[in-house]
Amino acid sequence: MAEPLPVDSPDDPRLHDYTDLTDVQLRRTREPAEGLFIAEGEKVIRRALEAGYAMRSMLLSEKWLGPMRDVVESATAPVYLTTPQTAEAVTGYHVHRGALASMERAPEREPAELLDGARRIAVLESVNDHTNVGAVFRSAAALGMDAVLLSPDCADPLYRRSVKVSMGAVFAVPYARVERWPHGLDALRSAGFRLLALTPRAGSQPIEDVVDERPERAALLLGAEGTGLTARALAASEPVRIPMAHGVDSLNVAAAAAVAFYALTRA
């Protein structure tokens, strides 16, 4: 059992993992380098633990000690108890959910590990907005996608904002980075995946037509907000689109992903 340890000073070195959480550039570099990520809120912390991630420490305000009592009692890592004011001074923002945990990252997986047995895979190219990445993972988990592959420049799924938006769904869907982009997509094609590029451009096939063909294995490529998929990604795949009405030409990438995932996982 971890006995909660009161911490009063924002300069306490034991709180190093939680410092400057609002500095995106710093945290994007620091967290992978130090092998950690931050889980925020009771539900996300519990889901991270259920997924097998090891806790480095936990930071709680007084009112969250009761709801998190069972987690505290089973923790083998230190649990720090502090005031909302101190937590804000450490992290750089008001911690609305009152509970943060620093978790150990697992070793990164190789794309080939995710292909065995998978039928439906999402592939993200240059989706560097953490909110969109989290939302895509949440839809992927909810709608039954088997895995997510990321281009080298995609945002970190374990960054605090991504994890929070996904409500911990990033722990439920296996993912890996394709380091040789887009040449690494050849492995998908060799494994029998039909590569589908979601794009609003003219000449794209309606996605429901592909669904009607019931492909055995399909990988759906999704591009960044605004710019969409690159010419290289489009050249490596078949363009498909979601039919639109009322003059709307496209959807936010997270919304489009949810619609497409729903269609593909029912094929």
**125 SS3 class:** coil
Band (1; pLDDT cuts 50, 70, 90): low
CA–CA distances in Å: residue 230 to residues 117, 147, 227: 28, 22, 8
Band (177; pLDDT cuts 50, 70, 90): very high
Nearest to 45 by CA among 19, 67, 12: 67
* % residues pLDDT > 90 (the chain): 90
The whole-angstrom separation of Cα 233 and Cα 219 is: 12
Quote the tokens at residue 152. Answer: 């080298």
Is it the case that residue 97 has pLDDT exceeding 80?
no
Q: What is the pLDDT of residue 194?
A: 97
The whole-angstrom separation of Cα 243 and Cα 250 is: 9
Q: What is the pLDDT of residue 9?
A: 97
DSSP bridge pairs for 222: 124
Q: What is the pLDDT of residue 51?
A: 97
Q: Give me the domains of the chain, ranges plus CATH numbers.
A: 5-104 (3.30.1330.30), 111-264 (3.40.1280.10)
Q: What is the pLDDT of residue 115?
A: 95
First to last CA, the chain: 48
Is it the case that residue 225 has pLDDT exceeding 90?
no
Element at 99 (helix H, strand E) = strand 99-104
Q: What is the pLDDT of residue 261?
A: 98
Nearest to 244 by CA among 201, 215, 213: 201
